[in-house]
A and B are shown apart, each in its own frame.
Chain A
Amino acid sequence: MTTTVSAPEQRMSRPDHTRAHRRRAARAALLTFLVWASGVVAGVLFLTSSGSAPFGSLGAAISSIGILAGLVGTDFILVMLVLAARIPAIDATIGHDRAIALHRTLGKPALYLLLGHGALLTIGYAIDQGVNPVVEIANLWATPDVPLAIIAIGLLVAVVVTSLVAVRLRFSYEGWHLIHLLSYVAVAFALPHQLSLGGVLASGTVQRVYWIALYALAFGAIGIFRFIEPAVSSLRHRIRVSGVETIAPGVVSIHLTGRDLRSLGSHGGQFFVWRFWTGSTWWHSHPVSLSSVPTDTAARITVRDLGDGSRSISTIPVGTAVSLEGPYGLFTPTARTAPKLAIVAAGIGITPARALLEQSDLAPGEATLLLRASSTDDAFLWAEMAELAERKGARLYTMTGPRSAVAPTWMTAIDARRGVSLRSVFPDLLESDLYVCGPTAWLDAVEADARAAGLPAHQLHSERFDW
C-alpha cells in the first residue's frame, strides 16, 4: 500500500541544473576523448620522430609496427592507472564507477597491443637478421633489460586473466585486488627496456615531454590520491567510532566523531571507503555512503552487517580508529540535470538517498520519493526520511512487500497488478532526475523500467552497492 506525506516551504532562486549538466557533459565527453586520443598521440609522436627509413625493409616495417603497438599499449596502461587513481576532478566529471568502466574497457586492447609488440618485434628482427623467430627469441632474451620486460608482460597477462569476470568470482575482493596491484610492478619492470632500447626520452622532443607528463600524472595521482590523501585525511580528522546502533535486523548505524568533519568535502550521497582498525577488520575496506550530512564533529554511516564473528562490524568497539578515502560518487545534488527530482530507494539503498535529500536545496513539490522495502525489517531510517520530506516540501510514497515471484518487476506483486508504474508514481518523470539506489538486481529492474518509459540516460543516476 502507498501513503503520502507533504508540506510546503518557500524558496527563492533556483539553481540552473540544465546548464550545469551541459557543462559537465562536455567535460565528460572531453575526458573520454582524451583517453582514446592519448593512444593516437603516442603513435603519432613516434611516427613523426622516427629516424631514417623505419619502414625501409620488411623486417624494419614489422618492427616499427611492433614498436608502435608497444607505445600505444603502454599509453593505455598508464591511462588506466590514471583512471584508477581516483582523481577528484575525474570523479566529479564522470563519477568513479564510469571511470572504472572506462578503465576496464582499455584492459584487453592494452594487453593485446603489448603482446603484439613482443611478437612483431621478434618477427621483424628475425626477418632482418635472417634467422628464424625461435632463435630471435633467444637473442632477445639475451639482451639486457628485455627479460624484465618479458616478465612484465607475463604479470599483465595474470592481471587481465584474473579480472575476467568468470575468474574474478573465484577470488575474494582483497585477493583479486592484490594480484591487480602487480600491474604497478609490471609498469616498473617494463621501464628499463623503454629507456635503454627505445628512444622516447630523447631530450628536447615533444615525445619526451608527453611521456614524462603521462608517467608523472599516473604515479603522481596514485601517490597523492590513493596514499597521501587518505593518510593526511585520517590524521587530520581523527575519526573514531563513537557508537554502534542496530537499527534493524542485520543493519547498524555507526556513529563517528572527529574534527572538522565538514571539511571532508562530501556532498550528500557521496561515499567513502572506510577501514576500521581492529586486528580482525583492518583488512577489509567498506565503500559506504554517509547516511547524513556531517556536522563538524559527528558523522554517521549505516551499513548492512555482512561479516561474521569477529569480523562483524557490529562488534567494533567504541574508540576504534577509522581511516577513510574519498569522497567519491556522483549521487549528489550537483549531478542534477533536470527541473524535478525523483528518488527511489530500497533497503540499504536508503542511506545515500537520505544524505542526498538532506543536502538538496528544493522548492516545494520539486521532489518525490518512493521508499521500497520487502518487509518492515527492511524499512529503516524511514522516519527520518519522512521528516526531511516534510521539511523540504517533498512527496513521499512507500511500498512495502515482497517482489512478485512470477513476473520480473521491482515492485510488489500487488502494486504491479494494480497498474502502478514509475510514471504513475512520478508523473513528471521525463522532466526529472531519477536517483535510484538499492540491491543490484532490483536496481537493474528499475533502470530498465525507466529507460523503457523514455527517460534519457543522463537523467538516470544509480548507486550500485557491489563494487
Chain B
Amino acid sequence: MHHVFDSMGTTVSLDWHEHGTHSGADAAARVERIFDEFDRRFSLYRTDSEASRIAAGRLRLADSSDAMREAYALALEWRTATGGVFTPNRPDGVVDLSGVVKALAIERSGELLGASDRNGDWIVNAGGDVLVSAPRTVGIVDPADRGSLLTAVTLTGTRRAVATSGSAERGDHIWRSAADEFVQATVLADDIVTADVLATAIIAGGTETLDAVTRRWNVDVLTVDATGALLATPGFRASLA
C-alpha cells in the first residue's frame, strides 16, 4: 500500500504491506503522527515549537523535554565525530536540529513498521532520504537535471538507508567550510541517521571529509562535482543495479 503526505516542509512517501500486525491505514496514520510530533517539537518554522521557544530564549534547554535533549546530544555526538563539519549550531547561535530530526523521524517510523518477516517489506522516503526493510533498488537523481536519474543502486547485505545531500539545498545544518567541491553526495549506510549526517558532512567538508568518512565509517558514497564527474567507493560500485 502506498501513502504520501507532507511534513517538515517536504513530502514523505510511504510504501508498506497491508498484512501483518498493523492494518494498512493504521500504519499510515501512525507514521504520519510520528512525523507530525517531530515537526511540532523541532520545527523552527513553527513559532510555538519547543525548538523555537528555546531559540527565542523562552525555554531553557535544561528544562526541555527528554526528546529535545536526546536529539541535541545526538547532534553533538555527530558534531564531535565529524570534527565539527556537521553541526547543529548555526552561526547566529540558534540550535537547528533539522539535520538529525528528519532522519530520526524516518528511523522511528521504521521501528514502528517493524521487521520485514513479520509485517512485510516497507519503504519510507522522506524528501529524498530512503529507509527500506529489505533489499530494494533506489535511483539517484542527477543534480544537473532533476528530472533524470544518474544511476541506481541495489541495497544489499546490511545496507538499509540512502541519503542524498546537495549543495543547492539550503538546509541550515550545512555550513560549508570548504569551497563547493561537491554539488551532491549520496551515502549508503546501515541506518538512516548515519547516512543523512555523513551526506551532509561531505557536502560541507569536501574531499577531505569524504576521505575521512570512507576511512572511518562502514558506508558507501557517491559524489558529484560541479563538472558532473563522479566518485564512488568500491562498495557503491558493486551495488550498482
Chain A in direct contact with chain B (Cβ < 8 angstroms):
yes
User: Does B234 sit at the interface, judged by CB under 8 A?
Assistant: yes
Name the interface residues of B53-95: CB closer than 8 Å to any CB of A.
Answer: none
User: Does B20 sit at the interface, judged by CB under 8 A?
Assistant: no
Residue of B nearest to A197 (CB): B215
In angstroms, how far is the closest chain A Cβ from the Cβ of B194?
A: 11
In angstroms, how far is the closest chain B Cβ from the Cβ of A116?
A: 24
Name the interface residues of A99-154: CB closer than 8 Å to any CB of B.
Answer: 128-131
Give bound CA distance, A130 to B238, whole Å: 9
Q: Can you report 7 A-B residue pairs in the complex whose CB atoms are below 8 A from each other?
A: A128-B218, A129-B234, A129-B235, A130-B234, A130-B235, A130-B238, A131-B234
In the A-B complex, the 7 residue pairs with the smallest Cβ-Cβ separation, listed nearest first, are A130-B238, A129-B234, A130-B234, A130-B235, A131-B234, A129-B235, A128-B218
Cβ–Cβ < 8 Å partners of B235 in chain A: 129-130
- Most central of B218, B235, B238 by chain A CB within 10 Å: B218
Name the interface residues of B212-241: CB closer than 8 Å to any CB of A.
Answer: 218, 234-235, 238
Residue of A nearest to B234 (CB): A129
Cβ–Cβ < 8 Å partners of A128 in chain B: 218
Give bound CA distance, A269 to B29, whole Å: 92
Give bound CA distance, A129 to B157, whole Å: 13
Give the interface of A toward B (CB within 8 A).
128-131
Give the interface of B toward A (CB within 8 A).
218, 234-235, 238
Give bound CA distance, A131 to B233, whole Å: 13
Cβ–Cβ < 8 Å partners of B238 in chain A: 130
Give bound CA distance, A129 to B218, whole Å: 10
Cβ–Cβ < 8 Å partners of B234 in chain A: 129-131
Cβ–Cβ < 8 Å partners of A130 in chain B: 234-235, 238
Give bound CA distance, A130 to B239, whole Å: 12
In angstroms, how far is the closest chain A Cβ from the Cβ of B35?
A: 28
In angstroms, how far is the closest chain A Cβ from the Cβ of B199?
A: 20
Give bound CA distance, A130 to B234, whole Å: 9
Give bound CA distance, A27 to B234, whole Å: 56
Cβ–Cβ < 8 Å partners of A129 in chain B: 234-235
Cβ–Cβ < 8 Å partners of A131 in chain B: 234
In angstroms, how far is the closest chain B Cβ from the Cβ of A51?
A: 10
Give bound CA distance, A130 to B218, whole Å: 13
Residue of A nearest to B237 (CB): A130
Residue of B nearest to A59 (CB): B218
In angstroms, how far is the closest chain B Cβ from the Cβ of A74?
A: 22
In angstroms, how far is the closest chain B Cβ from the Cβ of A195?
A: 15
In angstroms, how far is the closest chain A Cβ from the Cβ of B214?
A: 11
Give bound CA distance, A128 to B235, whole Å: 10
In angstroms, how far is the closest chain A Cβ from the Cβ of B87?
A: 22
Residue of B nearest to A143 (CB): B215
Residue of A nearest to B238 (CB): A130
In angstroms, how far is the closest chain A Cβ from the Cβ of B102?
A: 23
Residue of A nearest to B157 (CB): A57
Give bound CA distance, A131 to B238, whole Å: 11
Cβ–Cβ < 8 Å partners of B218 in chain A: 128
Give bound CA distance, A128 to B218, whole Å: 9
In angstroms, how far is the closest chain B Cβ from the Cβ of A129?
A: 6
Residue of B nearest to A128 (CB): B218
Give bound CA distance, A251 to B235, whole Å: 75
In angstroms, how far is the closest chain A Cβ from the Cβ of B127?
A: 28
Residue of A nearest to B233 (CB): A129
Give bound CA distance, A338 to B223, whole Å: 79
In angstroms, how far is the closest chain A Cβ from the Cβ of B198?
A: 15
Residue of A nearest to B235 (CB): A130
In angstroms, how far is the closest chain B Cβ from the Cβ of A146?
A: 13
Give bound CA distance, A130 to B157, whole Å: 12
Give bound CA distance, A128 to B234, whole Å: 11
Give bound CA distance, A288 to B234, whole Å: 64
In angstroms, how far is the closest chain A Cβ from the Cβ of B65?
A: 27
Give bound CA distance, A57 to B22, whole Å: 33
Give bound CA distance, A129 to B237, whole Å: 12
Residue of B nearest to A129 (CB): B234
Residue of A nearest to B216 (CB): A51
- Most central of A128, A130, A131 by chain B CB within 10 Å: A130
In angstroms, how far is the closest chain B Cβ from the Cβ of A50?
A: 15
In angstroms, how far is the closest chain A Cβ from the Cβ of B155?
A: 15
Residue of B nearest to A131 (CB): B234
Give bound CA distance, A184 to B218, whole Å: 36
In angstroms, how far is the closest chain A Cβ from the Cβ of B232?
A: 14
In angstroms, how far is the closest chain A Cβ from the Cβ of B161?
A: 16
In angstroms, how far is the closest chain A Cβ from the Cβ of B110?
A: 20
Residue of B nearest to A56 (CB): B218
Give bound CA distance, A178 to B238, whole Å: 51
Give bound CA distance, A129 to B238, whole Å: 10
Give bound CA distance, A303 to B238, whole Å: 74
Give bound CA distance, A128 to B157, whole Å: 12
In angstroms, how far is the closest chain A Cβ from the Cβ of B188?
A: 14
Give bound CA distance, A111 to B55, whole Å: 60
In angstroms, how far is the closest chain A Cβ from the Cβ of B75?
A: 18
Give bound CA distance, A131 to B237, whole Å: 13
In angstroms, how far is the closest chain B Cβ from the Cβ of A55?
A: 13
In angstroms, how far is the closest chain B Cβ from the Cβ of A429?
A: 68
Give bound CA distance, A14 to B17, whole Å: 94
Give bound CA distance, A130 to B156, whole Å: 13
